Amino acid sequence: MPTTSRSITIDSPTTAASSHTRLIQVLDALVRRVGGEPWGVRELAAELSESRSTVNRILVSLVEIGLATEAGVGKYSVGPRIDVLTKTLSDSSVLLGLSGESLSYLAESSKCTALVSVYCPRSRGYFIAACSAADATLTFRPQLGVVYPLTFGDIGRQMASYLDADAHCSTSPGTVANVDDIVRADQTLGQLSESEFPDALSISVRMLNNGLLVSVSVHSAASAEGKINKPLDMDVRRVIGEIATDIESKTRDSSQASPHISTENDKSTVDRLERLLLLVCAFPNGLKNTVKLHGQLLCNAATAKRLIQSGIETELVTLTENTLYPGPRLYQWAARMSSAHRNLADLTRKILSSFVQETGETIALLSYDDVAEKAQFLEVIQGWRPIQYKLQVNVDVPLYAGAAGKAVLAHCAAHVIDTIKLVKLTEATITSRKVLNEELAVIKQRGWATGEGERVLGAFGLAVPFFVDGKIRGSISATIPQYRKDERDLPTLTTLMRETTANIERLLSLGVETQPSGL
């Protein structure tokens, strides 16, 4: 399957890209290589026809706020903050996340693969935004977020027919594709031929009121002929109708949304772009383009206009009736990032590795699921000290025993604390509910927890919880042999751990609130 996708192009090659556009171009290049080889500065500069100094300056600024990450000397990959923002879009968007149940039903009822695809006007192409495949021996699962030209496959040809028949089919400067770009896109398909992209058994194309042209289609890997299946047409039209109705309803309901970003940022170009991404990802059903929105972007009306215009030119956002929506490019980013399957451990690894390198101690990342009311160590990063404990990952961790669990339990709902079973694991395990409640109260007040041999004999643990938008999400803990506990400067270690959790919280939290008044 293809591992790259077409790059962003500007309408006029003689017009210099704005600072906002250059940032978006660099981010797009990083997203295209998620899970692949990181970019070198020289290589990326050549790709974007920019100077190395400009590209290097952009990458450094993106690293500072987590939109990019260093992956070796002079190498850069997409940063974890992009995962956070695009997951927010996926979870809150009808198109990516909330349509999943209907798409799954369509796949299972047809015993085929159901796809949602999105049209990219400026490149005259499309990408798969969502996929649901029936449980079968032979399945078809195309890679998400890869842009195909409209000449490729039934989806592209059906979209082209829709555009030709539509009143908007007349080509304007804003929709002209760069011919060289189309050629590059065809080349990126590599060994993928149309025979490996099954014909649509049924397909329906529709323009949504947020400005996106989308399709819902059904494909079967086992069908050699790929003939249109009339019985499926009604189901496909029903699903795309549900998507359109749901988006229209949510768009109507969002007209009074007045977002407020509670976190403080510098008024730099990259910070403003990050805020724009945050707002449209958190509010995919539309935001009024008004003075209040400009204030949240930390700029005046003129600067906001330039930023939004760059977003429109690169298809990062769309502006319909003075309302901002996520554009095709942003949905493509979300699709690509979701297919990379990067979890909490992947997102926080850089932060935790820096801490381990500084302290030499083994650090464990505990993730708490407030729905299942369970916690697991997702990752343990071994320190450089010669004697270390080894902890198991991906196994349930008792919240009442050991520093890592108690740091989380202290901030859980009362019913979780009151109903937890206190099973004796070692001689030091707390089995008295009264003693546990007293200790949890102390932990909650001071902000960190300790444990000595409660879960692992001979081990001393120090843990600090972390929160995502005010909700307990887990903890980081240092596990130290008890004989070495007195040698450690525990207050300094605690301070360093709290600084580390603060960095994790800034990375993972959105910091967006919705005010009752309309924009």
Q: Looking at residue 182, what is its pLDDT?
A: 31
Give the DSSP letter string of 390-444: ---SSSB--TTSSHHHHHHHTTS-HHHHHH------STT----HHHHHHHHHHHH
Q: Please say if the pLDDT value at position 187 is more than 70.
A: no
Cross-strand partners of 369: 374
Residue 478: what are its φ and ψ, rounded to 5°? Answer: -105, 125
Q: What is the pLDDT of residues 7-20, one digit of tens each?
A: 544 443 434 568 89
Cα distance between residue 378 and residue 366, in whole Å: 6
Query: pLDDT at residue 226 above 50?
Result: no
Q: Do domains 99-253 and 344-508 have the same CATH topology?
A: yes
Question: Tokens at residue 121, please?
Answer: 């006007």
Q: Which of 232, 242, 163 is closest to 199 using CA atoms?
A: 232
For 84, residues 6+ apart whose C-beta sits below 8 A from its C-beta are: 347, 507, 508, 510
Instruction: State yes or no: pLDDT of 91 exceeds 70.
Output: yes
Domain ranges of the chain: 99-253, 344-508
Residue 328 has pLDDT above 70, yes or no: yes
pLDDT band for position 519 (cuts 50, 70, 90): very low
Query: Looking up tokens 């650090």, which residue turns up?
Result: 363
The pLDDT tens digits of the residues spanning 243-273 come to: 999 888 887 766 556 777 877 767 789 999 9
Dihedral sign from CA coordinates of 181, 182, 186, 189: positive
Provide the pLDDT for residue 96.
83
Q: According to the model, what pLDDT value does residue 386 have? A: 74
State mean pLDDT over 483-506. Answer: 92
Q: Give mean pLDDT, residues 123-131.
A: 93
Mean pLDDT of 150-179: 70
Within its chain, how far is the Cα of 476 from the centroid?
22
CATH T-level assignment (fold) for domain 99-253: Beta-Lactamase (3.30.450)
Across the chain, what does the average pLDDT equal?
86
Architecture, CATH, for domain 344-508: 2-Layer Sandwich (3.30)
The model carries a pTM of: 0.88
Q: List pLDDT tens digits, range 378-405.
A: 999 998 877 777 788 999 999 999 999 9
pLDDT of residue 181: 42
**pLDDT tens per residue, range 274-321:** 999 999 999 998 888 888 888 888 888 899 999 999 999 999 999 988
Q: Which residues of 164-190 are buried (b: 16+ CB within 10 A; e: fewer)?
A: eeeeeeeeeeebebbeebbeebeebbe
